[in-house]
Amino acid sequence: MPKVPLYYYSSVSNLTGRFAEALSRLDGRDVFNLAHAPVRRHEVAGPWVLLTPSYKAGNANEVTLPAGVRSFLRSPMNRRRLIGIIGSGNRNFGVYYQAAARRLAARSGRPILFEFELAGTPEDVTRCAEILAELDAALDAATP
């Protein structure tokens, strides 16, 4: 059964990247880092899932989706083929915890599949892999 690829953004801290790589090691899913320009310029051929951190830089007007994610989503084809969002955040951001993922979900009409804090725990990776496996199975069943 094919697995939906995961496109993620990870900054220098690599918290989100560690989660994505752990997920890939666990279930063999392809993961692609939007911090790399060639990945950002790519148009996805089919359904895909976004893993994005939320950043809070000081005030309510600075709740930001990472530039690499915004760049990737400029492609109408990539926006159309996005099927779900996974959010990473920091609870120290208070009401802004997961703000980017939640705002993107509201604007795109795509569901938030899973949320975790910082780099996540091994249990978070396992649960997220289970959710993605259910998504893969549902897509496979829907394909004639």
Average pLDDT over residues 93-122: 92
Of 25 and 93, the one with more pLDDT: 25
Residue 57's pLDDT is 58
Share of the chain above pLDDT 70, in %: 94
Q: Sorting pLDDT into bands at 50, 70 and 90, what band is 28?
A: very high
Helices (H), 30-112: 37-40, 67-72, 76-81, 99-108
Mean pLDDT value across the chain: 90
Give yes or no for a contact between 33 and 39, defined as CB atoms under 8 angstroms apart: yes
Average pLDDT over residues 99-126: 94
Q: What is the pLDDT of residues 57-100, one digit of tens each?
A: 555 565 578 888 999 999 999 999 999 999 998 888 888 888 88
Average pLDDT over residues 123-138: 97
* Cα 138 → chain centroid: 19
